């Protein structure tokens, strides 16, 4: 009876297709030695152990995985007993982190069917979202429990074989993202899967199958019930995937930006704001795909800048001075955003520094330009200024001036400041009128 129920829920699961090396051609050089060691050690102790999920998907795509996860028949306590440098983590899903050298390999136990499980091992909320799931089972059951077919493949690095339970290899070749089981229920179990669908489709150049795509727009509101930290982690993965431009466009197309970056829909409705955001995302993609580092604080500062800019102008219109108005705007925007995304405090600090320095670029007198050059965030703030100029928000002259000022020596900088502060003909005429003997000051000079 139970098998019948799951047959209806997930569809019949045939024996896996065993794909040998001559067909998958996964290069051993792309596999982490630590992950290889974990699989070998678990197998030597009599447990099945495979590389699983995104690592297998990336290996089949010819990419070097960013991290390696291992799935095994061993229970968390057994894994912990085998590896001296390891620790059990998590409550929702109990996992083991195994440390080998400088690497940490995440090891999970095969998940099973939870039909008869009690609340101590599995529980859900009123919407069907799984809160706790520590029901263990077989590799076949684990494959059924995974979200998409391209993430349900297992690779044995010892035998160099891929176990494909749901035709994930065929879906990769067809450039198709397909859900395992009923999409409606799978999204209810974990609404983050909707954002993951967008991320995988963008990162791998796939089309979401209509059956998996249809419920996304109607179930997007369920993301409000997901812990903010999980939403933030998934958004970070999307923005730092090297395909952020396509990912954000897909989020918007499916209506998910309302539940993830709620201010993004406002930004993307403004031509200037949309151009700025897309330039920032495109620059991020270029850096990541070139193997360069990216600052998350810079990225979120760019995503939210036009909200800060609007609030800044409103505060000044109420009579507030320049800098107090800017700080009020920054706090206001971060407060609104914190209700949706758990942006870590360390990123919030970087964002505020980048924003605050924008006002200082406009002051090119006295010692202030020299002080700005010495600021730890000058380079990031200057790159941000370049985006503002490139998007059309500011005249490019200001960026050119700072480029020249930062790239020359001390004497040339002093000369630039002297030249910049020298009065023009109109100023000289006003100064002469002000100091003419016997004539009272009109109060119209630049100094008054």
Q: Is 69 in the active site?
A: yes
Q: Is 350 in the active site?
A: no
User: Catalytic: which of 67, 156, 182, 383?
Assistant: 67
> Across the strands, what pairs with 69?
52, 106
Q: Which two three-digit tokens encode residue 300?
A: 């979120």
From 157, 158, 179, select the one nearest 168 (Cα to Cα).
Answer: 179
Q: Which two three-digit tokens encode residue 39?
A: 């699989």
User: Catalytic: which of 133, 142, 147, 350?
Assistant: 147
User: Catalytic: which of 58, 69, 246, 285?
Assistant: 69
SS3 of 110-150? CECCCCCCCCCCEEECCCCCEEEECCECCHHHHHHHCCEHH
From 216, 142, 140, 211, select the one nearest 176 (Cα to Cα).
Answer: 211
Q: Is 142 in the active site?
A: no
On whether the CB atoms of residues 333 and 311 are closer than 8 A, the answer is yes
In whole angstroms, how far apart are CA 360 and each of 258, 347, 355, 414?
33, 21, 10, 18
Which residues of 157-231 form beta strands (DSSP E)?
Answer: 161-164, 176-177, 207-208
Task: Return the number of other C-beta atoms located less than 10 Å from residue 211's C-beta.
Answer: 12
274: helix, strand or coil: helix
Quote the DSSP letter at residue 66: S
In whole angstroms, how far apart are CA 154 and each of 26, 43, 389?
13, 14, 48
> Across the strands, what pairs with 96?
88, 107
Provide the annotated active-site residues. Answer: 67, 69, 147
């Amino acid at each position: 009876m139970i098998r019948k129920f799951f047959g209806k829920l997930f569809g019949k699961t045939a024996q896996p297709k065993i794909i040998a090396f001559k067909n998958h051609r996964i290069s051993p050089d792309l596999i982490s030695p630590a992950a290889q060691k974990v699989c070998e050690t678990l197998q030597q102790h009599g447990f099945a152990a495979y590389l699983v999920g995104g690592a297998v998907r990336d290996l089949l795509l010819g990419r070097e995985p960013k991290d390696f996860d291992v799935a095994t028949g061993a229970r968390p306590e057994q894994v912990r007993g085998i590896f001296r440098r390891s620790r059990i983590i998590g409550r929702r899903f109990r996992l083991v982190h195994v440390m080998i050298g400088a690497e940490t390999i995440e090891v999970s136990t095969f998940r099973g069917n939870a039909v008869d499980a009690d609340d101590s091992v599995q529980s859900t909320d009123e919407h069907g979202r799984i809160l706790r799931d520590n029901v263990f089972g077989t590799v076949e059951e684990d494959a059924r429990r995974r979200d998409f077919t391209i993430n349900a493949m297992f690779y044995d690095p010892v035998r160099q074989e891929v176990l494909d339970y749901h035709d994930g290899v065929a879906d990769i070749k067809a450039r198709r993202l397909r859900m395992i089981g009923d999409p409606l229920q799978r999204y209810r179990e974990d609404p983050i899967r909707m954002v993951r669908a967008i991320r995988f489709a963008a990162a791998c150049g796939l089309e979401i199958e209509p059956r998996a795509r249809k419920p996304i727009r109607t179930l997007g509101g369920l993301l409000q019930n997901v812990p903010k930290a999980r939403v933030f982690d998934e958004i970070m993965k999307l923005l730092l995937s090297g395909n952020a431009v396509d990912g954000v466009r897909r989020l918007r197309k499916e209506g998910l930006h309302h539940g993830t970056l709620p201010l993004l829909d406002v930004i993307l409705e403004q031509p200037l704001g949309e151009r700025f955001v897309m330039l920032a995302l495109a620059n991020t993609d270029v850096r990541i795909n070139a193997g360069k580092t990216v600052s998350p604080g810079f990225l979120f500062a760019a995503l939210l800048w036009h909200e800060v800019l609007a609030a800044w102008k409103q505060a000044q219109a109420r009579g507030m001075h320049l800098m107090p108005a800017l700080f009020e705007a920054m706090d206001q925007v971060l407060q609104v955003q914190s209700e949706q995304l758990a942006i870590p405090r360390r990123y919030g600090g970087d964002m505020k520094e980048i924003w605050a320095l924008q006002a200082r670029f406009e002051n090119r007198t006295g010692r202030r330009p020299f002080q700005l050059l010495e600021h730890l965030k000058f380079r990031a703030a200057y790159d941000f200024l370049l985006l503002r100029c490139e998007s059309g928000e500011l005249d490019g002259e200001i960026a050119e001036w700072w480029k020249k000022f930062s790239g020359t020596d001390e004497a040339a900088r002093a000369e630039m400041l002297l030249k910049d502060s020298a009065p023009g003909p109109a100023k000289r005429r006003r100064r002469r009128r002000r100091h003419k003997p016997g004539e009272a000051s009109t109060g119209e000079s630049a100094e008054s």
